[in-house]
């Protein structure tokens, strides 16, 4: 598991093995992150600037992910920078979340799409 600096983690969360939560992520109370879930923070990732120089901290904007209270992101989920997973939402295994997920929604697939509502949202 990798939890970067400046990640906010709430109470009673369950983060499984190989979770990657990168700088800027906010994980609220009672969140479940399954094995291998990744919370990204760079919308336009590049190793170098246009002039070929290696990018430093001043060359990019951190844009974290927010996972709201009681939400679940199953195994292998990737949440792209800037997205919010709403309260009590469920993200199915292997989904790629590119935009906000409504509170209580169930989303699956690549790209993640809504297929229902969580039973105890």
- Which residues contact residue 73 at a Cβ distance below 8 angstroms, ignoring those fewer than 6 apart? 31, 32, 33, 34, 37, 67, 79, 85, 91, 95, 97
pLDDT at position 93 is 97
Model pLDDT for residues 38-71, shown as the tens digit of each residue: 999 998 888 999 899 999 989 989 999 999 999 9
Homologous superfamily (CATH) of 1-43+61-121 is: Hexapeptide repeat proteins (2.160.10.10)
Q: What is the mean pLDDT of residues 25-50?
A: 95
Structural domain boundaries in the chain: 1-43+61-121
Least confident of 3-7, 29-33, 99-103: 3-7
Q: Quick one: pLDDT band at residue 121, thresholds 50, 70, 90?
A: low
pLDDT at position 107 is 97
């Amino acid at each position: 598991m990798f939890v970067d600096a400046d990640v906010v983690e709430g109470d009673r969360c369950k983060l499984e093995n190989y979770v990657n939560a990168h700088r800027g992520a906010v994980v609220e109370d009672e969140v479940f992150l399954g094995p291998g879930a990744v919370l990204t923070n760079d919308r336009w990732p590049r190793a170098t600037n246009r002039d070929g120089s290696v990018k430093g901290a001043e060359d990019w904007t951190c844009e974290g992910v927010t996972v709201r209270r009681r939400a679940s992101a199953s195994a292998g989920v990737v949440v792209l920078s800037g997205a919010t997973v709403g309260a009590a939402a469920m993200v199915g295994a292997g989904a790629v979340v590119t935009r906000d997920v409504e509170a209580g929604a169930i989303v699956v697939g690549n790209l993640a799409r809504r297929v229902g509502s969580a039973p105890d949202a």
